[in-house]
Amino acid sequence: MEKAVGGKTIELVLGDIVRQEVDAIVNAANPTLLGGGGVDGAIHRAGGPAIIEECQTLRNVRGECPIGEAVFTSAGRLPARYVIHAVGPVWQGGENREAELLASCYRNALRIAAKLGLRTVAFPSISTGIYGYPTSEAATVALVTVASFLTSEPQAPDRVRFVLYDTLTFATYAGALDAL
C-alpha cells in the first residue's frame, strides 16, 4: 500500500526490516545504542559486529543517544547502506511528551537521511514493541510527521517505507495512512 505525499511516496509493507534493500533502515534503538530486543536486536544480529563497533565508538564520543534523537552507522551485512538509530520514548500514559518525542525521532532520522542524500528509507513502528506505545497513536504520529517532512524538506527521501512485522500493525498503519 502506498500514498503520494508532496511528490514523494509513503509505502507500507508487511515484512522483515532487516531484508529491505533501501539506502537506510531505521533502528528502533535504545539510548545505549548497544542493541537489545525486538527490531534493535534483529538489526544488530543481522548486520553483524560492524554495527555494534560503530555504536560503541559513537557512545564513547557522545554518550548515550537522547530520546527523540538519532545517529547513523554503516549497515554491516544488511542490504542497506546505513542504519539510522532513532531512540523513541517509552509509553508512560501519554502525558510525558511521548508524542513530541516520537515525532522528533522520526524527524531526526529523516534529517540524517536528507543530509546523506538518501533516496529510500525503511522505518519500523518505533516504540510500539517493548516500549508499549499504543500502535494506533504511534501510527498517526509517525505518518503525520513523515508526511510533513516529505512536503516541507526539498532534500527529503523520495520513498519512505514502513516495514510492519504483523498484520495487526499493518492494518493499523493502513488505516492511519488512509486518514492522511
Q: Is 21 exposed, middle or buried (0-12, 13-18, 19+ CB in 10 A)?
A: exposed
List, in order, residues 6 or more apart from 73 with CB less than 8 Å away: 50, 51, 54, 55, 58, 82, 83, 85
Say which DSSP state 82 is in: E
* Residue from 16, 23, 40, 166 carrying the catalytic annotation: 40
Amino acid at 56: Q
**Gap between the Cα atoms of 39 and 50, Å rounded:** 17
**Gap between the Cα atoms of 73 and 95, Å rounded:** 32
- 40 is an active site residue: yes
**Gap between the Cα atoms of 10 and 60, Å rounded:** 35
> Which residues belong to the active site?
40
